[in-house]
């Protein structure tokens, strides 16, 4: 069995060496990082990659990150939020510079993904850096010319905490974006600041009767709240795909 599995590991391939081509500030703690990874060969929207760091003494640390980009080619974008007690994310946010090399392995994952062949309505619900795989879906949707209706509910603490703010503030014709601010809403925002509720999902999400595919990504508490509320609103549990950011 081991031999078979080793052969199958070859489908994801060995570690590839990428070069950071640009880093953009998304928020005080968030950066998007564009990397050229020869041999990457493209990914489906929603997939992730392992990132490996190696210290001078040989110590290594590996974590998985969602890819914010989708499509063919060897250039990918990650977006990373610094976890205060994290080991890899502080390095990626604070130390990594353009021109640095980074080892990656992927793309990984075949469940929390969207492909342009899907024709049903799509409801995206993201909390914090949980926007990253959803952003890949939004970009794939736009790049493919898909006319399938997309809606995004994006929950962030304050406007300054939003990733991809400019891109999401001028969405394309087939994408509707609703912002949920949990700590401080901008002036002129009719919804007071507060955590996402079933009422938000009912007011701004696709109704269950439309049988949308729903992608929910964020911290565990956020995902639990949203997924439970969606089921209570009548969404079929098997149409609600979740990805929880639980680790450090």
In this structure, the number of other CB atoms found within 10 A of the CB of residue 153 comes to: 23
Establish if 241 lies at the interface with another protein (CB under 8 A).
yes
Q: Using CB under 8 A, which residues numbered 75 to 94 contact another protein? A: 87-88, 91
What x/- string results for residues 192 through 231 when contact with another protein is judged by CB under 8 A? ----------------------------x---x--xx-xx
In the chain, beta strands by DSSP E = 16-25, 30-36, 48-54, 60-66, 75-81, 101-108, 122-127, 150-156, 175-181, 213-219, 240-245
What x/- string results for residues 112 through 141 when contact with another protein is judged by CB under 8 A? x-----------------------------
Nearer to another protein, 46 or 164 (CB): 46
**Which helix or strand (DSSP H or E) is residue 1 part of?**
none
Q: Using CB under 8 A, which residues numbered 98 to 117 contact another protein? A: 100-103, 108-112
Establish if 3 lies at the interface with another protein (CB under 8 A).
no
In this structure, the number of other CB atoms found within 10 A of the CB of residue 119 comes to: 9
Cβ-contact 148, 119 below 8 angstroms: yes
Nearer to another protein, 11 or 192 (CB): 11
Nearer to another protein, 162 or 196 (CB): 196
Among 42, 53, 158, 191, binds another protein (CB under 8 A): 53
- Beta-carbon-side half-sphere exposure of residue 92 (alpha carbons within 13 Å): 33
- Give the C-alpha distances (Å, rounded to integers) separating 141 from 79, 81, 87, 109, 172: 19, 24, 33, 19, 10
Rounded to a whole number of angstroms, the minimum distance from the CB of residue 17 to another protein is 6
Q: What are phi and psi of 210, to 5 degrees?
A: -80, -5
Among 57, 170, 187, 190, binds another protein (CB under 8 A): 57
Nearer to another protein, 11 or 72 (CB): 11
Distance CA(62)–CA(207), nearest Å, equals: 39
- Residue 244 β-bridge partners: 218
Closest listed residue to residue 90, CA positions, set 98, 100, 82: 82
Establish if 17 lies at the interface with another protein (CB under 8 A).
yes
Establish if 55 lies at the interface with another protein (CB under 8 A).
yes
Cβ-contact 151, 206 below 8 angstroms: yes
Among 14, 56, 187, 190, binds another protein (CB under 8 A): 56
Rounded to a whole number of angstroms, the minimum distance from the CB of residue 94 to another protein is 9
Distance CA(205)–CA(224), nearest Å, equals: 17
Rounded to a whole number of angstroms, the minimum distance from the CB of residue 55 to another protein is 5
Binding site for another protein (CB under 8 A): 1-2, 4-5, 8-9, 11-12, 17, 52-64, 87-88, 91, 95, 97, 100-103, 108-112, 220, 224, 227-228, 230-231, 237-238, 240-242, 244, 246-248
């Amino acid at each position: 069995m081991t031999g078979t599995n080793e052969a199958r590991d070859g489908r994801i391939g060995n570690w590839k060496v990428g070069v950071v081509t640009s880093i953009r500030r998304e928020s005080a703690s968030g950066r998007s990082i564009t990397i050229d990874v020869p041999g990457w060969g493209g990914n489906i929207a929603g997939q992730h990659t392992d990132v490996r760091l190696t210290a001078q003494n040989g110590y290594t640390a590996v974590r998985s990150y969602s890819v914010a980009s989708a499509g063919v080619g060897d250039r990918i974008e990650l977006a990373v939020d610094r976890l205060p007690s994290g080991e890899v994310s502080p390095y990626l946010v604070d130390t990594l510079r353009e021109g640095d090399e980074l080892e990656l392995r992927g793309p990984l994952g075949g469940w929390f993904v969207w492909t342009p062949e899907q024709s049903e309505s799509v409801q995206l619900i993201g909390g914090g850096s949980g926007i990253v795989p959803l952003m890949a879906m939004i970009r794939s949707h736009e790049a493919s010319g898909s006319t399938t209706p997309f809606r995004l509910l994006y929950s962030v603490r304050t406007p300054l905490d939003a990733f991809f703010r400019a891109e999401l503030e001028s969405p394309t014709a087939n994408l509707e974006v609703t912002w949920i601010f949990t700590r401080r809403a901008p002036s002129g925002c009719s919804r007071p600041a507060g955590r996402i509720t079933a009422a938000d999902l009912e007011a701004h999400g696709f109704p269950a009767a439309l049988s949308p595919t729903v992608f929910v990504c964020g911290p565990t508490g956020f995902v639990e709240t949203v997924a439970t509320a969606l089921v209570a609103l009548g969404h079929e549990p098997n149409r609600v795909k979740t990805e929880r950011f639980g680790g450090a």
